[in-house]
Amino acid sequence: MLTINRLDQADARLLIEGAAARATEIGVPMCIAITDESGNLLAFERMDGGKVTSITVAQDKSFTASAARKATHEYNAACVPGNLVFGIHTALGGRLCVVGGGLPVMVDGEVVGGIGLSSGTPAQDMDCAQAGIDHFMRSRA
């Protein structure tokens, strides 16, 4: 039998709070998705002005980061023609996302969930996702 550590709703709110604060600072309204360690949606927020098309993208980024236990930008770097992993973005009905902005949430070396952001550039999405994780980790201390 396995004991599984996963984010709860309070954790998800902290992640969203930190990411949304950074998005507000940079002036880019975001769609923010939080998933558990298996990639199932726990919480979602579309900030006022967040792109409609980013609703699904943010969720897919979070899904990829938690279920595959790898940041989406890491897949992006590897998913190029000629590499053995090329084409992985078509797996799982296209849910595996290779656009930067999805990060696994790690606690004590274990993936407990994921955060995915979309509406800005990949760099902005990654920055806000990291801000969410940083806020969450500070709150745990």
Q: How far is CA 25 from the centre of its chain?
A: 19
- DSSP string of 106-139, one letter each residue: EETTEEEEEEEEESS-HHHHHHHHHHHHHHHHHH
24/48 Cα distance (integer angstroms): 10
Q: Where do the domains of the chain lie? A: 9-140
According to CATH, what is the number of the domain 9-140?
A: 3.30.450.150
0.75 exceeded by the pTM? yes
Q: Is the confidence at residue 90, as pLDDT, over 90?
A: no
Q: How confident is the model over 9-53, as pLDDT tens digits?
A: 999 999 999 999 999 999 999 999 999 999 999 999 999 999 999
Alpha helical stretches, state H, 1-141: 9-26, 54-67, 72-78, 122-140
Nearest Cα to Cα of residue 20 among 47, 44, 42, 43: 47
DSSP assignment letter at 81:
T
Residue with tokens 């902290």: 14
